[in-house]
Amino acid sequence: MEHGTALGAEAAAELPPEDRHARAEQRLGTAGTAYRTVGGGEAAAANLAWWDADADDYQATHGEFLGDADFVWCPEGLREADARLLGDVRGRRVLEVGCGQAACSRWLAAEGAHAVATDLSAGMLRHARAGNARTGLDVPLVQANAEQLPLADASFDMACSAFGALPFVPSLETVFAEVRRVLRPGAPWVFSVTHPMRWIFPDDPGPQGLTVTQPYFDRTPYVEVDDDGTATYVEYHRTLGDYVRALAATGFALDDLLEPEWPPGHERVWGQWSPLRGKLFPGTAIFRTRRD
């Protein structure tokens, strides 16, 4: 869900927020940032390297919150057990795109679904295998780019993604078309992403993160680069309208758009998500759609 190095709890507590990304950036030789055009090949290579480098630290910090077999849609803590955005999953074949350590898929399996989890990162899938072993929920894991799913046509009854893959690919339409291809007619496709309005604010959970610094309509990708200018991390921005149009263009009907409110008593700071910001504007957008 979050770009950045997630250290163990004790180590993380000793570092100021601006240093949370330091370990993965050091491993990759990140030397600066830029806004520039990035093609699919460069983006895939950069983000594969990033999430492989960050996988251990990410799991160390966020693993307890995400659980071994729990379906958490967003840093606000909305869970599928309460929201039921997918409906009844018993006996259904469910695809999770950008699964990370696959806690969502294991929750689905525990609910009686036949879940399959995909992710670009071998490092994240290593943690997914460990989660399978800890829980005894043997979810099939597939290393794959979301733009090229190695799965059969019309082989799934529903698909989901909780902050997975979509911010890191240059073409929403390509991913949506692939998801549509593997879904049966009428199947739901539900996914959560960082709310697009967050793009205009600094990536800061504190007071500095309340001041607009970036145009909402500037879709130039955010890029971290090494000394040679090669991308080490890439993230793409889309407006709400961009998501809606991409869904319509690829044969999905939008049933609902949820913007979870920050819940009372929830004090967890996750990257740029915090109680301070959460009480003022949304941090997550969840699209509930279905294949036409």
The DSSP result for 43-101, as a single string, is HHHHHHHHHHHHHHHHHHHHHHHH-SS--B-STT--BHHHH-SS---TT-EEEEES-TT
pLDDT of residue 21: 72
Contact 172, 243 (CB under 8 A): yes
Contact 211, 234 (CB under 8 A): no
Residues β-bridged to residue 72: 79
d(CA 54, CA 56): 6
Name which of 81, 12, 25 is nearest 53 in CA terms.
25
pLDDT of residue 3: 52
Contact 28, 231 (CB under 8 A): no
DSSP conformational letter for 241: H
Q: Is 213 exposed, middle or buried (0-12, 13-18, 19+ CB in 10 A)?
A: exposed
Residues of the chain with pLDDT under 50: 1-2, 4-18
DSSP conformational letter for 120: S
Residues β-bridged to residue 287: 191, 257
d(CA 264, CA 243): 29
d(CA 166, CA 154): 21
Name which of 120, 277, 246, 76 is nearest 177 in CA terms.
246
pLDDT of residue 20: 54
pLDDT of residue 144: 98
Identify each DSSP E strand in 113-264 by its residue range: 114-119, 141-143, 158-162, 188-194, 222-225, 231-235, 252-258
Longest CA pairwise span in the chain (Å)? 51
The answer to whether the pTM exceeds 0.95 is no
pLDDT of residue 22: 85
